[in-house]
Structure 1
Amino acid sequence: MNTLVSTGTLPADTRIDPPGRAGERESLESFLALQRQSIVYKASGLSDHDAARRLLPSITTVSGVIRHLADVERSWFREVMAGEQNIAYRWSDDDPDGEFRVSADDALDDIIADYLSACAESNEIIASHTLDDVCVGRDNRFTLRWIMQHLIEETARHLGHIDVLRELLDGAVGE
């Protein structure tokens, strides 16, 4: 990817269309997949420089939001749902916004690849549980159903941030 110039356009739209009639699990899985695909779709074509550009008083950037979402996927599915420990996050008690700290030296393609890897890890955990399974990690008051609904909400909310940032960065707009 050219690290200096964004395309100003979005790629061909190959995102899934969730079925209009499906069971609960298929609906949750397909809406989560759509939100995840939309994150990548809306970031595609941005330069590394633009993806790391701050346009707001906060440290919110496209690259930072995607890094945040990768950490959120790992936190909720691997740590909370599956009970894995010692997962490496970019945030810490000393730097709670660590995942948002990016620069133009951070390749957007690498950040997206890490996000897609986190989503694949999450999908393995989703496939190995029923919707009613209770978390075995640090907070066992949640079910897989709740976590999936939360990730749809969290991802969609941050997709809105990326959508606005993308339009401000290079004018690209789209569904």
Structure 2
Amino acid sequence: MTIDERAMPPLDGDERTNLAAWLDFYRETLAMKCEGLTDEQARTASVAPSPLTLQGLVQHLSEVERNWFRRILAGEDAPSLYGPSSSAEGHDGGFELSDEVSFTAACATWREETARSRANCAARSLEDTSPFGPGRVSLRWIYTHMIAEYARHVGHADLLRERIDGSTGV
């Protein structure tokens, strides 16, 4: 996919359209950062001393999608995909790699989770809330949080990819 193939968020859309479009824009940017990599490259921690890998980012974002759009928003009982959550360390886990999970499989799981996320949002308004901690969280807040989550990790992905094979941009 090239930069021209991503759907640019509308310049004059309503709030709901813009939130969903920006989240999809960052999802597709992550996919572009991972395009064409071998399993070995995707599993390469290329920005020492960090152990972060592109496969770890894809797995993590699968967990984050599952957490916010399935467990919290929809109240589903959806177990962790990649082992126990690391929420005690402040993230939803998934960063750790396993020999049993290929990069292709991790990407397929991430695509499945994003499809479920879209489906769980489709029938809800931005004002709809779900239990979270001691209170409630709105779909609007979840969208905003997820845009920030993806934007941050797409920046990480850009650095990782550049160190792997020199690819930059988008």
> Do the structures match in fold with TM over 0.5?
yes
Matched residue, 1:26? 17
Match of 1:52 in 2: 43
The alpha-carbon deviation at position 35 of structure 1 amounts to 0.5
In the alignment, does 2:74 pair up with 1:90? no
Equivalent position to 1:16, from 4, 7, 10? 7
Alpha carbons 1:17, 1:34 under 8 Å: kept = yes
- Identity over the aligned pairs, expressed in percent? 35
Match of 1:38 among 29, 32, 47: 29
Contact 2:131 2:137 in 1 (8 A): no
Name the CA distance, whole Å, in 2 between partners of 1:131 and 1:94.
Answer: 28
Partner in structure 2 of residue 3 of structure 1: none
Counterpart of 2:124 in structure 1 is 129
Structure 1's 113 and 94: CA in aligned 2 closer, same or farther, altered over 3 A? Answer: closer
CA distance in 2, matches of 1:84, 1:22: 30
Distance in 2, matches of 1:38 and 1:94, equals 25
Q: 1:158 aligns with which of 147, 153, 156?
A: 153
Secondary structure at 1:16's aligned position in 2? coil
8 Å CA contact 1:134–1:140 kept in 2: the answer is: no
Q: Which residue does 2:138 correspond to in 1?
A: 143
Partner Cα separation in structure 2 for residue 29 and residue 122 of structure 1:
11
Q: Identify the structure with the greater strand proportion.
A: 2
Which ranges of 4 or more aligned residues in structure 1 deviate by more than 6 Å? 94-97
Question: Which of residues 54, 60, 66 in structure 2 aligns to 1:62?
Answer: 54
Over aligned residues, Cα RMSD in angstroms?
Answer: 2.2
Question: What is the deviation of 1:100?
Answer: 1.5
Cα deviations across residues 11-59 of structure 1 (Å, max 9, x unaligned)? 4331111110010000001000000011101110111101101122232
Count of residue correspondences? 165
| TM-score w.r.t. length of structure 2 | 0.88
1:109 shift after superposition = 1.9
Matched, 1:99 2:91: no
Deviations, residues 76-98 of structure 1 (Å, cap 9, x unaligned): 11001111124233242689685
Unaligned ranges ≥5, structure 1: 1-10
